[in-house]
């Protein structure tokens, strides 16, 4: 079993919140496990149990060179006594970046493939070539979103979260969003902040709800205006916000997911989106392992993990 640590939900205090008559708390899911943090813990949990149940000894998955999913899978598999293989987008590229270095140290076998080849990663030919090379494996899709992942993310909320009227989460593939949507109460609204540019994610989230046969008792919507240029892109404004948030609340954010969500949520508070009396919960979905690699790649300093 993956071992979950208790994590705090921290109330924030700031004059703006008082002025707007709202409460804001952060669920520190980033603290649920030292390596398998945030939503990745929940997305991997049932998948790895299923891999074991089916008698597999190894798992295989895909991701980018700085992927939180790759990093979490390496450590979660290790903890579950499984070996792991990571197919990484982009040949030779950054094979020594902090994310991949630590994944490799956790025992993951890393295979870099060209961007061209990576696009065919779900084709039967590509998967067959992989099993003739590595033997049988349990396959976890890129980003980790499948039925068992969504079963996991539907368990991210606890009874203590019922007091909130609004929940805020980052959105990548949407797997976390739909699990949460299926779990909220009728009086709750779920806001998903897309880390990607474009409106396509709205339809993808709808499709995931339908494909997994999910319904929501509450309201939910995906917001697409807080991507800051697109996936893994950033603006000066976003970086300043992350530093401000760290100084003000002592909570580290990452620039790929949680920074964009918190930026968007704070912006909506300023714009009086939330009626007075709202109790808002931000879900800190983790991703802090990527900060080291981001700084190495861009030279831009970020809040450190250890502080
Ligand atoms: C992967 C990730 C997400 C996105 O999750 P999806 O289920 O793909 O939408 C959000 N936040 C963090 C920190 C992540 O690592």
> Residue 293 and residue 287: Cα distance in Å, rounded?
11
* CA of 95 relative to ligand 1 center, distance in Å: 22
What number is the average pLDDT over the span 154-166?
A: 96
* CA of 188 relative to ligand 1 center, distance in Å: 21
To which residue do tokens 């046969």 refer? 213
Question: Mutation test of ligand 1: which of 179, 287, 290, 291 has the most ligand atoms closer than 8 Å to its C-beta?
Answer: 287
Q: Of all atoms in ligand 1, which is nearest to the CA of residue 176?
A: 7
Q: Of 109-123, 158-172, 188-202, 236-250, which range is least confident?
A: 109-123
Q: State pLDDT tens for residues 62-112.
A: 999 999 999 999 999 999 999 999 999 986 566 779 999 999 999 999 999
What number is the average pLDDT over the span 141-167?
A: 95
Question: Mutation test of ligand 1: which of 285, 288, 291, 302 has the most ligand atoms closer than 8 Å to its C-beta?
Answer: 285
3-state secondary structure labels for all residues of the chain: CCCCCCCCEEECCCHHHHHHCCEEEEECHHHCCCCCCCHHHHHHHHHHHHHHHCCCCEEEEEECCCCHHHHHHHHHHHHCCCEEEEEEECCCCCCCCHHHHHHHHCCCEEEEECHHHHHCCCCHHHHHHHHHHHCCCEECCHHHCCHHHHHHHCCCCCHHHHHCCEEEEEECCCHHHHHHHHHCCCCCEEEEEECCCCCHHHHHHHHHHHHCCCCCCCEEEEECCCCCCCCCCCCHHHHHHHHHHHHHHCCCCCCCCHHHHHHHHHHHHHCCCCCCCCEEEEECCCCCCHHHHHHHHHCCCCCCCCC
- Output the ligand 1 site: residues, CB below 6 A: 38-40, 68-69, 143, 145, 170-177, 257-258, 285-287
Q: State pLDDT tens for residues 226-265.
A: 999 999 999 999 999 999 999 999 999 999 999 999 999 9
* CA of 258 relative to ligand 1 center, distance in Å: 9
Model confidence at 143, pLDDT cuts 50, 70, 90, reads confident
Q: Of all atoms in ligand 1, which is nearest to the CA of residue 175?
A: 7
Q: pLDDT averaged over the chain?
A: 95
- Return residue ranges of the chain for CATH 3.40.50.1100: 9-34+147-298, 39-144
Would you state the pLDDT for residue 301?
95
The answer to whether residue 284 scores a pLDDT higher than 90 is yes
* CA of 69 relative to ligand 1 center, distance in Å: 8
Would you state the pLDDT for residue 93?
60
Q: Of all atoms in ligand 1, which is nearest to the CA of residue 254?
A: 13
Would you state the pLDDT for residue 151?
97
Model confidence at 1, pLDDT cuts 50, 70, 90, reads confident
Give the residue with greater pLDDT, 143 vs 75. Answer: 75
For a pLDDT cut of 70, what percent of the chain falls above it?
98
* CA of 297 relative to ligand 1 center, distance in Å: 20
Would you state the pLDDT for residue 307?
40
* CA of 67 relative to ligand 1 center, distance in Å: 10
Q: Of all atoms in ligand 1, which is nearest to the CA of residue 30?
A: 13
Model confidence at 305, pLDDT cuts 50, 70, 90, reads low
What number is the average pLDDT over the span 171-180?
A: 98
Q: Of all atoms in ligand 1, which is nearest to the CA of residue 172?
A: 9
> Phi/psi of residue 4, each to 5°?
-85, 135
Look up the CATH architecture of domain 39-144. 3-Layer(aba) Sandwich (3.40)
* CA of 213 relative to ligand 1 center, distance in Å: 21
Q: Does domain 9-34+147-298 have CATH number 3.40.50.1100?
A: yes
């Amino acid at each position: 079993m993956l071992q979950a640590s208790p994590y705090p939900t921290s109330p924030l205090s700031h004059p703006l919140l008082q002025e707007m008559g709202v409460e804001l708390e952060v669920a520190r899911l980033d603290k649920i496990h030292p390596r398998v943090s945030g939503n990745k813990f929940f997305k991997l949990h049932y998948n790895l149990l299923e891999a074991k149940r089916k008698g597999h000894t190894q798992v295989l998955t895909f991701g980018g060179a700085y992927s939180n999913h790759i990093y979490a899978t390496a450590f979660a598999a290790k903890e579950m006594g499984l070996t792991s293989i990571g197919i990484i987008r982009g040949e030779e590229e950054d094979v020594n970046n902090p994310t991949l270095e630590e994944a490799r140290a956790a025992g993951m076998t890393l295979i870099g493939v060209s961007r061209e080849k990576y696009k065919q990663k779900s084709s039967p030919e590509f998967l067959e070539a992989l099993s003739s090379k590595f033997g049988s494996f349990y396959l976890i899709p890129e980003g980790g979103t499948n039925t068992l992942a969504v079963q996991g993310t539907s368990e991210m909320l606890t009874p203590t979260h019922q007091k909130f009227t609004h929940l805020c989460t980052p959105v990548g593939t949407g797997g976390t969003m739909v699990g949460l949507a299926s779990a909220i109460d009728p009086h709750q609204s779920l806001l998903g902040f897309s880390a990607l540019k474009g409106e396509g994610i709205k339809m993808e989230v709808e499709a995931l709800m339908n494909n997994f046969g999910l319904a929501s008792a509450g309201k939910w919507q995906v917001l697409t205006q807080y991507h800051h240029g697109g996936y893994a892109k950033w603006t000066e404004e976003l970086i300043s916000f992350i530093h401000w948030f760290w100084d003000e609340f002592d909570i580290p954010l990452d620039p790929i997911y949680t920074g964009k969500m918190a930026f968007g949520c704070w912006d909506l508070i300023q714009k009086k989106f939330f009626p007075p009396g709202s109790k808002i919960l931000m879900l800190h979905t983790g991703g802090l392992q990527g900060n080291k690699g981001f700084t190495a790649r861009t030279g831009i300093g970020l809040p450190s993990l250890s502080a």
